[in-house]
Structure 1
Amino acid sequence: MTLDTKKSAFVKLGEFLNQFKDKNCTKNETVFGNDLFFEKFTDLIQLSQSHNGWYTPEQVHFAIASWAEALTEKNLTKWLSKYDFSVAAPKNIALILAGNIPLVGFHDFLSVLLSGHNVLVKTSSNDQHLLPFLANYLIAAEPDFKNKITFVEGKLENFDAVIATGSNNTARYFEYYFKDKPSIIRKNRNSAAVLNGQETKEHLLALGEDIFRYFGLGCRNVSKLFVPKDYSFEPFFEAIFEYQDVIHYEKYANNYDYNKAVFLMSNFKLLDNGFLTIKEDSSYSSPISSVFYEYYENLEDLQKRLEDENEQIQCIVSNNLVKNSIPFGTTQKPNLWDYADNIDTVSFLLTI
């Protein structure tokens, strides 16, 4: 297959996914494969919550919409134009995927196939259905993919390199187990926001999206706020009140009740609005339904700290207060060229 052939198949997939950007699932009769896949995918989205209690239809539709927007001819061409794909000999690449948010491993899957390699996928037990479905669509769109995609249930064997995502604990196991193979091993990361008190309600409302999307389960979800001394959280709480319905979701509510109780029993000082607790803490990783905050003295010192601790951070949002930050409300809409952990996956795949 040529690169253009592979790109064309993913563009078709993007057009297919575009029909499922929201709960209305508007069918476009010109889209390839609808006769075989449209109704089945509609049903799968509705069943996703039974497979994983965090995968509500709303969250799955959002993930699908993000990929529909990414998989266009323009975006794929912009992303891939800087690489020389003629240098890569086909290898077998093993993917060990996470399952914290819907289709979280799709970028690795996409990168392997576009790089000309074969992919051996070990899905998370929390996300076993969405990616195999999309793989079947791709094979229908381009049958030559059939011999390049394998889903593995048991032990991974006969692979030349691995991309594995897990916790800090599982990463140590991966690093030992795959020490003789070229690898990308991803660990826990969290995202942060830097505020100065000049943010508008619209900025803070968008920050709420960064906090609450996927119930805060993603590494790109903001779990830590850096605020200046004497910062008032009142405007923040007023803005994010629009997300109050999150507490009506049982799994989130259970986490809120539990984590709040743990904090209170430990005599921690909390700010609380009935669906989110705010706690002063130096850690980046806060539990579900909670966000940590920390005061800063000046932005230059904070900038240096963020650079020193960059291996703990996935992304930073702010109004251009610190280098390399992104706008509020955009953490869960990365571009194809926004690599997890800032590791260029395609360059890795082209040099193994």
Structure 2
Amino acid sequence: MTLKQRIDGFVQVGLFINRHFNEQRSSETQLHQGLDKLIEMAHIYNNWFIPEFVKESLINVSSLLKEEALIQFSTPIKEKNPKTIAVICAGNIPMVCFHDILCVLLSGNIALIKLSSDDNLLMPFFLKLLTHYEPKFESRILFAEGKLGAFDAVIATGSNNTAGHFKFYFGKYPHIIRKSRSSVAVLTGKESTQDLKALGKDIFLYFGLGCRNVSKVLVPKGYSFNTFFESIVDFGFVVNNKKYGNNYDYHRAIYLLESMDFLDNNFIMVKENSDLHSPVGVLYYQFYENETELSTYLNSIKDDLQCIVSEKNIPFGYSQQPVITDFADNVNTLEFLVNL
């Protein structure tokens, strides 16, 4: 299978997803019905995966599959004998392992995929679409049930705890092993209502479960959250999700019992805390005095950061819309695969 065939296959999947949410073709009715059913099933099996968020994830995936972008992205790829790459997927947000699998297959290798039990429906359907448009991919896609079997390299994503286990088991293989990271937003106090509403998307999309979700805001000394709360009111629907609501109620009860200070708008609590990663239903904040202090702090946590949302970095509202060259943990997955 040539690189052009591989690129064309992914491009066709991106076009199909775009058609699904815009103008469907009657010749693809079964595929469209299958995707609609899958979106429903994903929510039944994992209550975090509400249809709105699954749709958002799929649209974001399709935005990466533009022909021109894929051709440019694929420039470093050299044709060689395929190797088997184990991809161990996380399941915190829908399709979270997509970019890894894209890199493996685009580079001409074989993907041996170990799905998370929290997200074991969406990726198989996506890959079914891929083989529908380019059948030669069938020999390049394997799913691991139980033990992984033989492989040449591994890409694994998990928590800080599982990352330690991954290093123990896979340390002798060429590997990319990712642990938990978090994202922050930097506010100046001059943000518009629209900026803060867009920030709400960075906080609440996928219920805040992604490493690119903002879990903490850095604000100037004396910052008032009144405008922030007014701007994010449209995201109040999150508390109607049972899992989110339970987390919110649990942490609120603890804070009240322990007489902790926090701000509350009935669907998220905002609490001053030096930690980087906040629990579901909570947004941490930390004051800064000046730019120097801010830069020093950001530099001190750089190894635990996935991204920074601010007027100088990722624009408000775009933390969960990475471009194809945005690699998790700033480790170039494609380069790793090309150099095996």
Same-fold status (TM-score > 0.5) = yes
* Residue 339 in structure 1 maps to residue 327 in structure 2: yes
SS of the equivalent of 1:137 reads: helix
1:74 to 36, 56, 68: 68
What do you get for the CA RMSD once the two structures are aligned? 1.3
CA distance in 2, matches of 1:346, 1:334: 16
SS of the equivalent of 1:85 reads: coil
Amino acid at match of 1:12: Q
SS of the equivalent of 2:232 reads: helix
Structure 2 matches for 1:61-100, cutoff 5 A?
Answer: 61-81=55-75, 83-86=76-79, 88-100=80-92
Partner of 1:122: 114
Q: Is the 8 A contact 1:20 1:65 kept in 2?
A: no
Deviations 1:104-124 (A, max 9, x none): 001000000001110100000
CA distance in 2, matches of 1:148, 1:80: 18
Deviation at 1:135, TM superposition (A): 1.1
CA distance in 1, matches of 2:148, 2:240: 40
Across the two proteins, how many residue pairs are aligned to each other? 340
Partner of 2:43: 49
Deviations 1:171-209 (A, max 9, x none): 000011111001101100110000010000010000000
Structure 1 regions of 5+ residues with no counterpart?
A: none
Q: Is the 8 A contact 1:20 1:64 kept in 2?
A: no
Deviation at 1:245, TM superposition (A): 1.9
1:28 to 12, 18, 25: 25
Partner of 1:160: 152
Amino acid at match of 1:251: K
- TM-score normalised by L of structure 1: 0.94
SS of the equivalent of 1:326 reads: coil
CA distance in 2, matches of 1:110, 1:180: 24
Deviations 1:141-161 (A, max 9, x none): 111111110011110111010
Partner of 1:210: 202
Deviation at 1:35, TM superposition (A): 4.7
Deviation at 1:60, TM superposition (A): 0.6
Identity over the aligned pairs, expressed in percent?
A: 46
Q: Is the 8 A contact 2:20 2:32 kept in 1?
A: no
Structure 2 regions of 5+ residues with no counterpart?
A: none
CA distance in 1, matches of 2:338, 2:77: 8
Partner of 1:266: 258
- TM-score normalised by L of structure 2: 0.97
Deviations 1:52-80 (A, max 9, x none): 11111111111011111211112212322
Structure 2 matches for 1:1-352, cutoff 5 A?
Answer: 1-21=1-21, 26-29=23-26, 34-81=28-75, 83-86=76-79, 88-320=80-312, 325-352=313-340
CA distance in 2, matches of 1:55, 1:246: 12
Amino acid at match of 1:129: L
CA distance in 2, matches of 1:50, 1:181: 37
Amino acid at match of 2:332: D
CA distance in 1, matches of 2:141, 2:226: 51
CA distance in 2, matches of 1:274, 1:150: 45
CA distance in 1, matches of 2:107, 2:26: 31
Q: Is the 8 A contact 1:115 1:346 kept in 2?
A: yes
SS of the equivalent of 1:75 reads: helix
Amino acid at match of 2:38: L
Deviations 1:298-340 (A, max 9, x none): 11222132123111110001112xxxx2100001100010011
Query: Are residues 300 and 29 of structure 1, via their aligned partners in 2, closer, same or farther at CA, if it must alter by over 3 Å?
Result: farther
CA distance in 1, matches of 2:296, 2:265: 32
CA distance in 2, matches of 1:247, 1:35: 35
